[in-house]
């Protein structure tokens, strides 16, 4: 029997994530959206590509939360997207109402599921999902660091002039302008980028990474990124369903690691079938440690604004 993943939100991020999950044959998918016919139509279209793409997993579209029962993983992408000039913080009030409702509807029907939050502002929405679900914090995770690190890796590859396959990048902290790219743990085939690039170039890359989402919003004008976010969410789904125990930077509940306590924030974590199996602590330079402290402070301010 196949695993079951529910993706809530049939917009660009949700639909693309659903497509990647079925094409990789990770699980059967329930794609849910409140807009009548949207999820149904996209699911039907995807299923009609099965013969060409050679996948045997299935996807169904629905507006009915009853169809999400007994999901192994719930991916929440629902919410409004950023528009030019809008920060992730601006999304707080509207998306808090949406994400809270989604979690109430899904968590009760899939009490053993692991929740992956993609909706922005990411760190605050992940905290909200945890509080609303009543789940153990290891079973509620935010998708942020995987995406930010993937963007960082792309920019590093371009600057060094090397294959992206040899780049491993690490970005910690909140998913926003205070995120913390960590050059010391960002490497090209094991060589730290501090040995390959000048400090000025690294700082330029760091700046572009912090504003990577906004750069795409400025180009699209009426939407935000979805190819890379969906890939990043599916990487987390894969590590959980396959119990791969990948070390990934994710938004996880910290209990003192890196000086962060009682807060969801971007940290390196092992992901397996039980969710966050452990948070990995590594020594940081004084500058990176201070930047992470400030990022966590920013996340806390936003989380406190939820008043939960």
Q: Per residue in 190-204, pLDDT tens?
A: 999 999 999 999 999
Kindly tell me if the per-residue pLDDT of 88 is higher than 60: no
Q: Measure the CA–CA gap between 233 and 237, rounded to whole angstroms.
A: 6
Output the CA torsion sign for 66, 308, 296, 139: negative
The angle formed by the CA atoms of residues 30, 34 and 38, to the nearest 5 degrees, is: 70
* Residue 87, pLDDT score: 64
* Residue 165, pLDDT score: 98
Length in residues, the chain: 308
Mean pLDDT of the region 71-91: 81
CA dist 78 → 125, 155, 196, 220, 244 (Å): 11, 29, 40, 19, 27
Average pLDDT score, the chain: 96
Q: Measure the CA–CA gap between 251 and 235, rounded to whole angstroms.
A: 14
CB contact set of 297 (below 8 Å; sequence gap of 6+): none
pTM to 2 decimals?
A: 0.96
pLDDT higher at 85 or 296: 296
* Residue 1, pLDDT score: 85
Kindly tell me if the per-residue pLDDT of 169 is higher than 80: yes
Please report the domains of the chain, with CATH numbers, ordered by start residue. Answer: 4-142 (3.40.50.720), 145-304 (3.90.110.10)
Catalytic residue annotation: 175
């Amino acid at each position: 029997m196949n695993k079951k993943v529910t993706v809530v939100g049939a917009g660009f991020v949700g639909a693309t994530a659903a497509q990647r999950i079925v094409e990789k044959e990770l699980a059967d998918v329930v794609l849910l959206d409140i807009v009548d016919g949207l999820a149904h139509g996209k699911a039907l279209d995807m299923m009609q590509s099965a013969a060409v793409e050679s996948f045997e997993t299935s996807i169904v579209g629905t507006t009915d939360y009853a169809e999400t029962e007994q999901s192994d993983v719930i991916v929440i992408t629902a919410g409004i997207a950023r528009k030019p000039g809008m920060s992730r913080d601006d999304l707080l009030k509207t998306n808090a109402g949406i994400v809270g409702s989604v979690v109430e509807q899904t968590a009760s029907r899939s009490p053993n599921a692991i929740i992956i939050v993609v909706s922005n502002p990411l760190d605050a929405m992940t905290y909200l999902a945890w509080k609303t679900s009543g789940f153990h914090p290891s079973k509620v995770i935010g998708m942020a660091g995987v995406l930010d690190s993937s963007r960082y890796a792309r920019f590093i590859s371009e600057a060094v002039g090397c294959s992206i396959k040899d780049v491993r990048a690490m970005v910690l902290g909140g998913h926003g302008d205070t995120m913390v790219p960590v050059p010391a743990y960002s490497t090209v085939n094991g060589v730290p980028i501090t040995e390959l690039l000048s400090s000025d170039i690294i700082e330029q890359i760091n700046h572009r990474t912090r504003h990577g989402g906004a750069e795409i919003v400025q180009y699209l004008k009426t939407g935000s990124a979805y190819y890379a976010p969906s890939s990043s969410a599916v990487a987390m789904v894969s590590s959980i369903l396959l119990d791969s125990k990948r070390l990934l930077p994710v938004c996880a509940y910290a209990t003192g690691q890196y000086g962060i306590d009682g807060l969801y924030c971007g940290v390196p974590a092992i992901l397996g079938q039980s969710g966050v199996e452990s948070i990995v602590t590594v020594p940081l330079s004084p500058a990176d440690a201070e930047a992470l402290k400030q990022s966590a402070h920013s996340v806390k301010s936003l989380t406190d604004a939820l008043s939960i």
